Amino acid sequence: MPLILFNKPFRVLSQFSADGDKATLAHWIDTTKVYPAGRLDYDSEGLLLLTDDGRLQARISQPRSKTPKMYWAQVEGEATPAALARLEAGVHLKDGTARAVFARSRPEPAGLWPRDPPVRYRKSVPDCWLELGLTEGRNRQVRRMTAAAGLPTLRLIRYSVGPFTLQGLAPGEYREIGNAEAWQALKRHR
């Protein structure tokens, strides 16, 4: 079975099995013979990789692989150089220190789809977009890191995992890549 690159919509569980009335991967993907290579929170959007190849899944998701992941985060507040430096230097979380490989301001991503429901807008509180790179994937890590740096996350989109990106995928869409091609892309990406 090929590697599936899926643009997970907002408020979708990263699993096929039902959990109450929450939407799951089964609403968009016709096979249940694949498993997520890593997770993406219910209230986060973006790239989720799925495979039936255990070795490929481990290579993508195991912490020792240090597969880079890039996120776009809309945050509340202004991303000062000090806040960005703090994210890169490391912030203390309950489960240890976490640091971004890089943290930088960016304009709102071009061609970004609207979110339903939309992000709350507050006239008196500015917001901005960040681009963050991580090589680990703890539970709700980006959200906890930005909050610790004084920039609570309003919207979170995973743009890439290693060499794989959201490019050309609308929410709920997916494309498939053969396993051999996926392994080659991972080897070239080091």
Q: Please list the active-site residues.
A: 41
Strand partners, 132: 71, 103
Q: Using CA atoms, how far apart are residues 109 and 88, in angstroms rounded to an integer?
A: 21
Which residue's structure tokens are 């991303």?
A: 79
Cα 133-137-138 angle, rounded to 5 deg: 125
Buried b (16+ CB within 10 A) or exposed e, 60-98: bbeeeeebbbbbbbbbbbebeeebbebbbeebebeeeeb
Tell me how far the alpha carbon of residue 124 is from its chain's centroid: 28
Contact at 8 Å (CB) between 27 and 173? no
Gyration radius of the chain's alpha carbons: 16
Q: Token digits for 71?
A: 């996120």
